[in-house]
Structure 1
C-alpha cells in the first residue's frame, strides 16, 4: 500500500526534500483535492523550518490513505526524480482523477523514452566510481569505520560570551555526521588545552586505520589563528591554535590517516563585532587563519607532512559570522541542508562550493557573510556516498 510505502521513507523524505519541491507537491495535491486550502496554508505558515513542513506534509497525506499517498508518490516522481530514485519508491504510478476534483486530473507521466532516466542509486553510483583513480577509495568496510570529531563551546566562564543557539548547531551537526556514516566523538565546553587533548585523543581512535576519511568540526569563538576555550578572558588567553589540527592529524601525528581525506569545518568569527538581531559568533575578536609559509622539511619521512586536507571556514578574514539564537549558525544551517540533499552524488569540494553560494546569498539588512575554502591539499575527489550501506536497491 502506498501509505505504508510513505511511512517507510518518512525520515529520508523529511531529511532530503527541498522547500521548492514541498511547495510544488502542495500545489499538485491541492489541485487533486487531496488537500484543501486550509491544510496547505497550515503546512506552509505554521512550520518555520523546511523539515517541519516536510514532516507535516507526509504525515497529513499518509493519514488520508493509500489513494492520497499514491498521488503524492506520483507527483514526487514527476517533480524530483532524483529524490524519488534515492527513496526507492515504486508506488508512484499516475492515479485516476479524484472524485473531489474531476476537473483537474493528474497529468500523465512523460513517455519513458522521452523522460530523463532516474539517477543511479547510491550503490550503483558508488560502483561506477570505486575503481576511478581520481577518486579517494571508499569500501563498505572503510565506510563502516568512519569517525568524526565534534567540539562545541557553548557556555563560557564569562557569561556574556555564551553562544546562544550553539546547542542547535551541535544537535544538527551530530545528526548530519551520523547520517553520513560517521561515528561521532563529541565534546562540549572545552578549554583550549582540552581541545588540544581531544584532537590528540581522536588521532588514537582504533577505527582510524580502517576508516576512509574523517570530519573534524569545531565551533566556538575565534581569534587570530585560534579557537577560544571556555575559560578565555582578557587576562587569561585560553586558546587552541588552529594549526594544531593539521599538526595532530598530519602524516607524522596520525599515520593512520595518511592518504585519507580529512575534512575540517570551523565555525568561528574572523573579525569584529557588529550589532544585529543575529548574534555575532565572536565579539571584538578575529579568527584569521593564515596558511603557513614556513613548513619544515622532514628528511627522514618519505610522505608529505600535510596532505589530503580540506577546510571550510565560516567567513573570510576580518569579517564576522552570524548565528541565529533559535536556529544556530548560518553556516551550519546551510551545511546541513546541502549535505543532506547532495552528499550522495557530489564530491566534497562541490558540496563546499554550494554551501558558499547559499551563504553568500543570505541577507539580513546589511549583514553579509562569505565562507572560504582554506588549506586544501586534496589530490583526488572525495565522495561521501551518503546512504551507501542503507541502499540495496
Structure 2
C-alpha cells in the first residue's frame, strides 16, 4: 500500500536529531508567508507523529510536504529534504478528503470532511440555463416570477466586502482570501459586475453600502447581491479596528437593509436583493477551524401613494443566531464552499429560495460537519415572487 504524505513526513522527522527538530519547529513558527503555526501549538508536539499530524492538519496533505521540504532546506537538513522530495513527490498521493481537525471542546481528533477539494471551483463550471427552460418557466409561472432583463441591456452590480486583516493580529481571517476569490468568481459567472472592498472599518462599510445603493446602474439592473465576510456577533459585522479597547467598530446588519430599501435605493425597487453574510453570530474561537466571531481574548407595496419600505429581500447567514461559523485556514468557510457549489450546479433550474434550501441541506449532514456543527440560516425573506437567475442568459 502506498504511503500517505503524512507517513512520508513521519519518516523524515524521525531522521532528525533533537537539535535539528528544534530548529525545524522554530522555523515553522517563524514563516513569513502567513502560514506559520502558533508557538503554543508547536510546543504540544512530542514526537515525529505529532509534528506530521500538525503539518497535515494545518497545510492539508497537498501542501504539507512542500512546506516541510522548504523548512528542512532552510535549516540545513538537505539530506532529509532531498529524500522527502524523492519519496513523497514520486509516489502516488493518498487522497484524504477527511483530514483530522482538533476538537477544541472535547480535546479529541474527530473527522471533519472538507466540503470540496482545494481547486474545486477550477474543476467545475457554472451550469448554464437553456433558453427552452427559461421560456417554459416564464410560460408556466408568468407573474409569479421576477422579471430578468436581457443580458445585452442589463447592468448588474454586486457588492463584495471582505475583512481579513484586523488591527488585532490574532483576529486575522486566514483562508478568507479563498472565500473572496470563489465568491467573486461566482458573481462574475452570474453576470454581475463586482464592486469589491477589503479590510474596512464599520464606518467605511456603511459608506461602501450607501455608495453602492446610489449607483445609477441599478436602474438598468434586475437584481443585486451584497456579500459581506468578516468577524461578527449576533446582529453586527465587525470592522477591522474592532478590539477589546475599541468595541464600537461594529456595522449593524440592519443598516444593509436600510441602505437598500425602497426609500434609499429606488433603482432596486421591486427587484430581488440577495444578502449573503459570512460571520459568526456568537460562540468561541476555534483552532484549525477558526471561528469568525468576537474573540473573548483578542490578544491571544407599491400603489398610488404607497410603497413597502422593505421588500424583495432575502438573506442567507452563515449560521443561526448566537452560534459560530467555521473557516479552514486555507480552503475558506463551509458556508462559501457549499453556497458557491450549490449555485454552480443548480442555479440553471431552481429559484433562489430553493437554492438556499439546498445549502441548508448540506449543513444538515453530520458526516460533513463532524463535531464542528453550524447551520446556515435563511433570514428576513420578503420575496413575493420567485427569483430565477437563468445563468448564461
Fold similarity call, TM over 0.5 = yes
Deviation string, structure 1 residues 39-72 (Cα, Å, up to 9, x no partner) = xx9698399954847978x9xxxxxxxxxxxxxx
- The runs of 5 or more residues in structure 1 that have no matched partner are 1-40, 59-82, 88-120, 286-296, 389-393
Question: For the residues of structure 1 that align with 2:208 and 2:336, how far apart are their CA atoms?
Answer: 21
Post-superposition shift, 1:277?
A: 2.4
1:45 lines up with 2:104 in the alignment: no
Post-superposition shift, 1:315?
A: 0.7
User: Which of these residues, 363, 378, 381, is aligned with residue 376 of structure 1?
Assistant: 381
Mapping for residues 223-242 of structure 1, pairs under 5 Å = 223-236=233-246, 237-242=248-253
Post-superposition shift, 1:306?
A: 0.3
| Partner residue, 1:188 | 198
Post-superposition shift, 1:207?
A: 1.2
CA contact (8 A) 1:144 1:181 kept: no
1:263 lines up with 2:268 in the alignment: no
Summarize the Cα distance change of 1:377–1:143 in structure 2 as closer, same or farther, 3 Å threshold. Answer: farther
Summarize the Cα distance change of 1:368–1:145 in structure 2 as closer, same or farther, 3 Å threshold. Answer: same
Summarize the Cα distance change of 1:299–1:196 in structure 2 as closer, same or farther, 3 Å threshold. Answer: farther
Question: For the residues of structure 1 that align with 2:96 and 2:388, how far apart are their CA atoms?
Answer: 36
- The runs of 5 or more residues in structure 2 that have no matched partner are 1-90, 98-113
CA contact (8 A) 1:269 1:280 kept: yes
Question: For the residues of structure 2 that align with 1:43 and 1:338, how far apart are their CA atoms?
Answer: 28
Post-superposition shift, 1:130?
A: 3.3
CA contact (8 A) 2:285 2:293 kept: no
Mapping for residues 121-200 of structure 1, pairs under 5 Å = 122-130=130-138, 132-141=142-151, 144-200=154-210
| Counterpart secondary structure, 1:190 | coil
Post-superposition shift, 1:270?
A: 1.0
Summarize the Cα distance change of 1:42–1:182 in structure 2 as closer, same or farther, 3 Å threshold. Answer: farther
CA contact (8 A) 2:280 2:325 kept: yes
Question: For the residues of structure 2 that align with 1:347 and 1:226, how far apart are their CA atoms?
Answer: 28
CA contact (8 A) 2:190 2:392 kept: yes
Deviation string, structure 1 residues 189-248 (Cα, Å, up to 9, x no partner) = 000010000001101212100101000000001123111100111222111111011101
| Partner residue, 2:310 | 306
Post-superposition shift, 1:298?
A: 12
Question: For the residues of structure 2 that align with 1:358 and 1:374, how far apart are their CA atoms?
Answer: 17
CA contact (8 A) 1:308 1:379 kept: yes
Mapping for residues 60-79 of structure 1, pairs under 5 Å = none
| Partner residue, 2:363 | 359
Question: For the residues of structure 1 that align with 2:351 and 2:364, how far apart are their CA atoms?
Answer: 20
Summarize the Cα distance change of 1:360–1:138 in structure 2 as closer, same or farther, 3 Å threshold. Answer: same
Deviation string, structure 1 residues 251-310 (Cα, Å, up to 9, x no partner) = 00101111000000010101110534211111447xxxxxxxxxxx99995100100000
Post-superposition shift, 1:360?
A: 2.3
Question: For the residues of structure 2 that align with 1:167 and 1:54, how far apart are their CA atoms?
Answer: 14
| Partner residue, 1:17 | none
Mapping for residues 29-44 of structure 1, pairs under 5 Å = none
1:386 lines up with 2:376 in the alignment: no
Summarize the Cα distance change of 1:301–1:151 in structure 2 as closer, same or farther, 3 Å threshold. Answer: farther
Question: For the residues of structure 2 that align with 1:299 and 1:179, how far apart are their CA atoms?
Answer: 36
Question: For the residues of structure 2 that align with 1:327 and 1:187, how far apart are their CA atoms?
Answer: 21
Question: For the residues of structure 2 that align with 1:330 and 1:198, how far apart are their CA atoms?
Answer: 26
User: How many corresponding residue pairs?
Assistant: 278
Summarize the Cα distance change of 1:123–1:44 in structure 2 as closer, same or farther, 3 Å threshold. Answer: farther
Higher RCO (CA-CA < 8 Å; seq separation 6+): 2
Question: For the residues of structure 1 that align with 2:350 and 2:132, how far apart are their CA atoms?
Answer: 14
RMSD of the TM alignment (CA)?
Answer: 3.0
Deviation string, structure 1 residues 140-179 (Cα, Å, up to 9, x no partner) = 1487411100000000011111111100011100000000
Post-superposition shift, 1:352?
A: 0.5
CA contact (8 A) 1:196 1:240 kept: yes
1:216 lines up with 2:226 in the alignment: yes
Q: TM-score w.r.t. structure 2 length?
A: 0.65
